[in-house]
Amino acid sequence: MSNVKALLSLEGQVSVVTGGATGIGFQMASGLAEAGSNIVLCSRKVEVCEASCAELEKLGVKTLAVACDVTKPDQVEAMKDAILKKFGRVDMLMNNAGRAWVAPPEDMPLDRWQQVMDLNINAALICSQVIGREFIKQKRGKIINIASIAGIVGRNPAAYSSIAYSTSKGALVHFTRDLAVKWALHNIQVNCIAPGFFVTPLNEKLFEKNREYLEAEVPSHRTGGPDDLKGAAVLLASRASDHITGVILPVDGGTVAW
């Protein structure tokens, strides 16, 4: 029987967080690093990843910043090779990179719809395939998909209207469940965190405009804070979740329960 601190420790592990240099991705990457994990951050803007990696290294972990368009299989393969070259292992993949396009359903441009789908769901498949092959070889691994409560329930259009985002996150929810079933025999746990509204540099203006609606739909009457996703990320990345797979975990102040 293991001590719970040991079960939750990520000491020496290697965690990949796509789109993890900013926003909620960086919050979760920070939590993983605080639990001892080495961190790989990737995005198309490698300089942003490098700056965030420098902050994480202050926590005493090793990091790797990689320029990678996660919608391109060859670039994801190159990232995987760079990870194995530096660390010799990979333990967890967090599919966090995402985007949205705000428009009423009747006005949603098809090209913007496709861009959202490419990053929010197609990239999750690509990254899971590339990193998952390594997990299958080593007979262990963790995948955490970052969806949204918008992928679980319909959202008030007065607060937020992006049917492409909601649809892509709903797809990611079921992708999580089905992949969890498919890869359980490989000792790979696949789970999903579904955040409620968290204020980030990308949505600050939207929050200020619709603050009354956004806070009113949360039983706790507040949006997500700077530490609210850390615990969920560490749990699902650690050995403490070895018998948890296919789970969709809302971190939303009770929004979808109301």
- Residue 246's Cβ-side half-sphere holds a number of Cα atoms within 13 Å equal to 10
Residue 23: phi and psi, rounded to 5, are: 60, -145
DSSP sequence for 143-179 = EEEE--GGGTS---TTT--BHHHHHHHHHHHHHHHHH
What residue type is assigned to position 254 of the chain?
A: G
Residue 220, CA distances (Å) to 58, 172, 225, 254, 258 in order: 33, 26, 12, 7, 11
Q: Is residue 160 annotated as part of the catalytic site, yes or no?
A: no
CA–CA separation, 253 vs 188, rounded Å? Answer: 29
**Active-site entry in 26, 135, 165, 175:** 165
3-state secondary structure of 192: strand
Known catalytic residues are: 165
